[in-house]
Amino acid sequence: MTLDLNAALAVADDLAHRAGALLLEALQHPRHISFKGAINLVTETDRQSEALIVGGLCEAFPDHHIVGEEGGGAGAPRESASFRWYVDPLDGTTNFAHGIPIFSVSIALAGPDDQPLLGVVYDPTRNECFRAVRGQGATLNGQPLHVSDISDLSQAALVTGFPYDRWTNPDNNIDTFVSFLMRAQAVGRMGSAALNLCYVAAGRFDAYWERRINPWDVMAGLLCVQEAGGRISNFQGQPDGVFQGREVVASNGLIHKQMLSVIVRGDAAPRPGKF
């Protein structure tokens, strides 16, 4: 089955902008929060944004399947659909709920192999729209993107996130975070996985890692990194599971091995220079 990827990108782009405008408007008003877990929030606005995007995708692509973070599956049945959309209607809900203007809308289209074909990540606060189409490069507001050329971890600015079960699950990224703090120039935590990845694609961060996230968090951003010349893998340096978000390392390529070494070896990994 063939699909015009650039036409599909235009639909996703329009929906991401409309959803982004909805988020910005809602940020001006008190937010109604409920809990999916002890520290895993969802707001009415997450659901409204998802309804807008999923409704638009169903109308434009009735034979595609759609996976939305809040609503589960929609559109054609997953098994019979050649194409699957992954929608995060508000990536950075904790920030949004606190009125912190760092969040995004992330929409990706994958083929039957669940590998992304196109992705859009829209940051309404800065009016920055990151787009990628497989084999056609990545752009920010229409300008081509390229990853950074930092080759030494000690000069690198990194970014990560932490799983929502971190209070109870010891596999919570905290030890790895500390190991990187002692080896990199900076380690940030922005609160939007999709933006983290796009910032790697744009050369703002040099690498990102996270564990136990979901395909809607990472699929669009990972394609942006790949198309901007970066490298993506799981913690063993392989592609397995990376688009599903089980383990994600995305870098400019030059520091990828150093990233894997710290993730796998923790505090036993070499430290830079002398203090």
Applying CB under 6 A, which residues contact ligand IPD? 88, 91-93, 161-163, 191-193, 210, 213, 217
**CB of 184 or CB of 248, closer to Ca ion:** 248
We find the least distance from the C-beta atom of residue 88 to Ca ion, in angstroms, to be 4
- Sites of contact with Ca ion (CB under 5 A): 69, 88, 90-91, 217
We find the least distance from the C-beta atom of residue 99 to ligand IPD, in angstroms, to be 14
We find the least distance from the C-beta atom of residue 127 to ligand IPD, in angstroms, to be 20
In contact, 161 and 213? CB cutoff 8 Å: yes
Q: Which of 175, 182, 245, 167 is CA-nearest to residue 208? A: 245
We find the least distance from the C-beta atom of residue 79 to ligand IPD, in angstroms, to be 26
**CB of 69 or CB of 227, closer to Ca ion:** 69
In contact, 251 and 207? CB cutoff 8 Å: yes
What are the strands of the beta sheet with 128-133, ordered from one edge? 72-75, 65-68, 84-91, 104-110, 116-123, 128-133, 137-140, 143-144
How many residues are given for the chain?
275
DSSP, collapsed to helix, strand or coil, labels residue 269 as coil
**Partner touching 123 among ligand IPD, Ca ion, none, CB below 5 to 8 Å by kind:** none
The region, left, alpha or beta by phi > 0 then psi within -120 to 50, assigned to residue 121 is: beta
Distances from the Cα of 146 to the Cαs of 113, 127, 140, 226, 227, in angstroms? 26, 19, 10, 10, 8
**Partner touching 234 among Ca ion, ligand IPD, none, CB below 5 to 8 Å by kind:** none
**CB of 49 or CB of 254, closer to ligand IPD:** 49
We find the least distance from the C-beta atom of residue 106 to ligand IPD, in angstroms, to be 8
Q: Where are the alpha helices (DSSP H) in 72-124?
A: 93-97
**CB of 68 or CB of 191, closer to ligand IPD:** 191
**CB of 42 or CB of 156, closer to Ca ion:** 42
